[in-house]
Amino acid sequence: MGKFRYLPSFMTYFHTSLVSCSKMSCFMFNIYIYFFSLDRDQVLRIHVESEDHIQALKELEEDVDSGLDFWTHGFSTERPIDIRVPHSSLSAVKDFLKKNNVPFNVMINNVQELLDREKSEMVSNAKMERSTKSFNFAAYHDLETIYSFMDTLVASHPNLITKVHIGNSYENRPMYALKFSTGGVNRPAIWVDAGIHSREWVTQASAVWIANKIASNYGVDPSVTSLLGQMDIYLMIVTNPDGYVFTHTNNRMWRKTRSVKSGSSCRGVDPNRNWDAGFGGPGASKDPCSDSYHGPYAHSEVEVKNVVDLIMGHGNFKSFISVHSYSQLLMYPYGYTCTDIPDMSELHSVGTAAIKELTSLYNTRYQVGSICKIIYQASGGSIDWTYDIGIKYSFAFELRDTGFYGFLLPANQIIPTAEETWLGLKYIMEYFDECMFSCLLTLDLAPYLLNDENAMRQREGQMMSWWQIVQD
């Protein structure tokens, strides 16, 4: 029997659970019908054409009372800005934009209509999964259902996959990574995570599909079989579990963690501004009420610290890939500075080739570049930190779409998104697999020719790393 629960801020939700069992396994399906009304809220797409427009948007951003939700960040004439505007502020915001001659159009006319459709599809899917005793990869699922899927996948592939408990979240939820390995001790490894920003549901859903793809392709796809013969893959499907649960039970648009800051009524930290890479710099906010709040100090968020501890404790990760949405981008460091990294040429080349593979399936168009140059300067990001500690092949994907639905991508786009993303991911993995024994001989000599001491030290560390791989 389901039951209603009443929450602060005029929100309620209905929750019930369904259990479906077959001979091999059981799935629990949780259904949440939440009532956080965004009725008649609109998403406006702002077209920035001048410095005056940028200043006007900064003024809007500082008006915390208007309740604006910036879906894209960083003000630039290079790309539009998407803002969810509460209905109560809609007239005032539109008048302000018109007064300042800032061009805009309505991207989503009524956010609540998309939420209602999304909720209805989830309820229907849960019933279907119960009756067919199967997991539907073309649907969004809550945390418990995803964790149940992970258990089933591990049970079906006990010699390939283990579920690694890397710690607990702020609200004491377990955090799990799937480890794909054919054996060996401390082998070179690739890290892939999704859902660090909780409202980016297509990332968690795509990661579920990709986990199943890796498992089913081992022993069938020669490239996956070869890859796992030489290295391990760690895949973290839900990197921000507290935030993800909150998007299902309370506020679908929640982005941050759910930690509490003493002296503030606003909760949460942006977990992709909390890493020790230019921490507290441009593109991150010191305001606890901001969606880009960087936190009180680097790695203050236990969700971030758990990943940091695993990466540092392992010591042999060679690639780190973080999956976000939306905007259709493949990015490499840096975000906290617009200075080119020593490996820019190689990473740009790898990224371009990966996107060529991705695009080959559905002709989905992506852009490739450094975070700072392709979108905006953003400090405290995960792939900047991993690159700075020597993980050369550090990338961030921004999945579909480019603005028709934003974070509310329909479930019928999950599998196409996952399929094309897998092709891009696989290319990066294959490149690294092939590069393990050739890159030692082709390392960029530019730092030595330019007498760049910092870059030379980084190169020497990479050479030692590659030599260790060859010895292993």
Residues designated catalytic: 398
d(CA 428, CA 350): 7
d(CA 117, CA 53): 35
Cis geometry, peptide bond prior to residue 326 (ω within 30 degrees of 0): yes
Amino acid at 251: N
162: three-class secondary structure by DSSP: strand
Structure tokens at 340: 């080119």
Compute the Cα dihedral for 278, 282, 284, 287 and give only its sign. Answer: positive
Q: How far is CA 50 from CA 76, 82, 102, 103, 127, in A?
A: 8, 17, 9, 11, 51
Structure tokens at 387: 């690159």
Q: How far is CA 22 from CA 18, 27, 126, 135, 421, in A?
A: 14, 9, 15, 12, 31
Comparing CA positions, the residue from 427, 379, 430, 420 lying closest to residue 398 is 420
Alpha carbon distance, N-terminus to C-terminus of the chain: 56
